């Protein structure tokens, strides 16, 4: 599935709910769908700085595509990780770099997060972009 299709899927899923309680439940469901992240990947190098909760992101790069593993120790934050990985995992570095995270605002997520969670979200997006830049540079060598 292409990255834009995944964004459309996320947008449709969240926009079917009028109530933010229902959207939070959907967000938590996304966190529960994350595959179990191996404990040996929960290391300092994979930790996302700037998050109030503990968050880990680990990329692998094969056949020109980045796959992410991720986890958090907080349910809502783990849901945010789940949404981001649903959209960005299985994409090329260039797809990630050229896809602005406007879907975050389109589903109203950013405006319903506390300041600390919004900062954490920005830190996760930044880390995903840094990984994509590094893998893009590696691919161009």
From the first residue on, what is the mean pLDDT of each consecutive set of 10 residues in the chain (141 residues)?
A: 93 92 92 94 94 93 96 94 96 95 91 87 96 89 69
Domains and CATH numbers, the chain: 3-139 (3.90.1010.10)
* pLDDT score recorded for residue 111: 86
| Global model pTM greater than 0.85 | yes
Neighbouring C-beta atoms of residue 19, cutoff 10 Å:
8
* pLDDT score recorded for residue 132: 96
Alpha helices (runs of H) in 19-101, residue ranges in sequence order: 20-32, 75-88, 93-98
Q: Is 51 a residue of the active site?
A: yes
Element (H, E) at 60: strand 55-62
> Which member of 10, 34, 51, 80 is catalytic?
51
* pLDDT score recorded for residue 89: 96
Alpha helices (runs of H) in the chain, residue ranges in sequence order: 3-15, 20-32, 75-88, 93-98, 102-106, 115-139
Pairing between β-strand 55-62 and β-strand 65-72 as defined by DSSP bridges? antiparallel
* pLDDT score recorded for residue 29: 94
């Amino acid at each position: 599935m292409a990255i834009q299709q995944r964004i459309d899927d996320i947008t449709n899923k969240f926009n079917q709910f009028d109530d933010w309680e229902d959207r939070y439940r959907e967000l938590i469901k996304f966190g529960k769908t994350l595959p179990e992240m191996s404990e040996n990947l929960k290391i300092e190098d994979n930790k996302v700085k700037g998050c109030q909760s503990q968050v880990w992101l680990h990329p692998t790069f094969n056949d020109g595509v980045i796959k992410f593993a991720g986890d958090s120790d907080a349910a809502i934050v783990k849901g945010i990780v789940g949404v981001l990985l649903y959209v960005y995992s299985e994409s090329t570095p260039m797809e990630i770099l050229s896809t602005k995270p406007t879907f975050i605002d389109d589903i109203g997520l950013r405006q319903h997060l506390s300041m600390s969670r919004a900062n954490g979200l920005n830190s996760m997006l930044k880390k995903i972009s840094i990984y994509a830049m590094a893998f893009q540079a590696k691919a161009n060598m």
